[in-house]
Amino acid sequence: MVIVVSEELETRVREIARTILRTPFTKRTWSELCFLSVGAVLAFFGFAFVVLTMAVGVVFAITFFGLAVIGLSLRGARAIGGVQRRLALGLLDEQIDDPDPFAPRRGFLGWLQSALRDRTGWRAMAYVVVKVPLAIFAIFTALSVWFDAFTCLITPLGGASQPHEFGLVRGLFPPGYFSIGNTGGLHGLAILCSGVVLFFAAPWGVRVVVYIDRFLMRALLGPDAVAVRVRSLEHARAQTVDASAATLRRIERDLHDGTQAQLVALAMRLGMAKEKLADTDHLDLDQVSELVNDAHRGAKEAIIELRDLARGIHPPVLDIGLEGALSTLAARSTVPADLTLTLNDRPTPAIESIAYFCVAELLANVAQHANASRASIICTQHSRWLRLVVRDDGIGGAQLSELGSSSSGLTGLTERVHAVDGRFEIVSPLRGPTVVTVDLPMHA
């Protein structure tokens, strides 16, 4: 009989075997072991500190002294959390962001109030408390395996008859389980073999426990959800402020270089014409008429520039609603574009404006870069969300960063989309098609 082992299976088995054989000798394994050992010691000291201070605090809770001790206890838990974070970073490469620093209010009462209401402190305390059972679990299931592995490896050398096992292995396999006979060379060899097996198994138990600890640390020692939200809102606000400052700067530039320059030139020509008309002795009507003609043309150009600029700030067509505005955009697009729009409600003006400028920028990008023959715009409502999909049949390969660099407008737009908690997604494989999806809340 021939056992046919598929090549794929063979490579996988070989890979797994290699991993098992290598793992005990990797830096990660020993770092994790170190983390668990140090962490266990820290856990017991931390727990003792917390229990002691909290007990005193609760007993005297009726007085300020008791409350102050509870406050100190929380501050201590915070500090333990900090040590734990550094330990995680140093040994596990686990980057946990620091929570916001403790910022007490003024005075003793202020400090007390801030300390007792410090969510970070309470969460760190929860970690310290939960860490104790985890540490006990770690000692009996993970650290014990390492211990057993070494005792099994050392026992035959020292000539002792039985290894001193404890924890998980002892529980699963009673003493003498591995031995063949009670003494002799064969017995020693059996113990040694079980030591080798345990040596290769031990890292995995540690890894599991460390995995649980990583999860706990991320949940309890990092910045809490509210703080994270506040940070992301602050970031979004900063971006919005920057974007609007940039917009104002762009408008100023456009006015300065366009309309203002046009009007200065216009005033200059009229000034020249006026002085020529006043000089009745050398009146040259042809010259005057040329100047007035130039001025007239300049005035018309200034009007057009001003109108384009005004439309760029707020398109008046938006006032009649998104449908009319988007269909105007689709009609003006150089690449033929179809619009499908189904909205039950009208989004708020800010959202309509973002949606409008997104479509305008995306259509402009399609015209410039996509080399497409058709584009489509689909605008739909999913309960409280507005979804915009702009698709083209062009060459694809578009990336947000590229689009951003080729038109600063789109970078500003993604920032505006994120500022209202929206999403901006671009899928553009080589040879196309490119599909850009923008999700916006209906009300913002």
Partner 1 sequence: MTRPVRVVIAEDSAILRDGLVQLLVDRGFVVSDAVSEPDALRRAVERDCPDVVIVDIRMPPTFTDEGLRAAIDLRRLHTGLGILMFSQYIETRYASELLADDAAGVGYLLKDRVADVSEFVEALTRVASGGTALDPEVVTQLLGASRRSDSISVLSAREKEVLSLMAEGRSNAAIASELVISEGTVEKHVASIFTKFDLPQSQSDHRRVLAVLRFLDS
**What does the binding site for partner 1 look like in residue numbers (CB under 8 A)?**
253, 256-257, 260-262, 264-265, 267-272, 274-275, 298
Nearer to partner 1, 259 or 434 (CB): 259
Nearer to partner 1, 170 or 250 (CB): 250
Backbone angles phi, psi at 174, to 5 degrees: -65, 165
CB of 278 to partner 1, least distance (A): 10
List the Cα angle 104/110/112 in 5-degree steps: 85
Overall residue count recorded for the chain in this entry: 444
CB of 294 to partner 1, least distance (A): 8
CB of 424 to partner 1, least distance (A): 30
Nearer to partner 1, 251 or 343 (CB): 251
Nearer to partner 1, 38 or 261 (CB): 261
CB of 412 to partner 1, least distance (A): 19
CB of 261 to partner 1, least distance (A): 4
> 374 to each of 151, 394, 428, how far by Cα in Å?
74, 8, 15
> 257 to each of 254, 264, 267, how far by Cα in Å?
5, 11, 16
Distance CA 359, CA 413 (A): 10
Which amino acid, 235? H
CB of 275 to partner 1, least distance (A): 5
Per the CB < 8 A criterion, the answer to whether 402 and 382 are in contact is no
CB of 272 to partner 1, least distance (A): 5
Distance CA 213, CA 94 (A): 11
CB of 288 to partner 1, least distance (A): 12
CB of 405 to partner 1, least distance (A): 18
CB of 303 to partner 1, least distance (A): 15
Nearer to partner 1, 180 or 267 (CB): 267
Nearer to partner 1, 38 or 306 (CB): 306
CB of 39 to partner 1, least distance (A): 54
Nearer to partner 1, 273 or 417 (CB): 273
Nearer to partner 1, 164 or 297 (CB): 297
Nearer to partner 1, 267 or 313 (CB): 267
Distance CA 183, CA 336 (A): 90
Positive or negative, the CA dihedral 373, 378, 379, 382 is negative
Nearer to partner 1, 83 or 267 (CB): 267
Nearer to partner 1, 22 or 256 (CB): 256
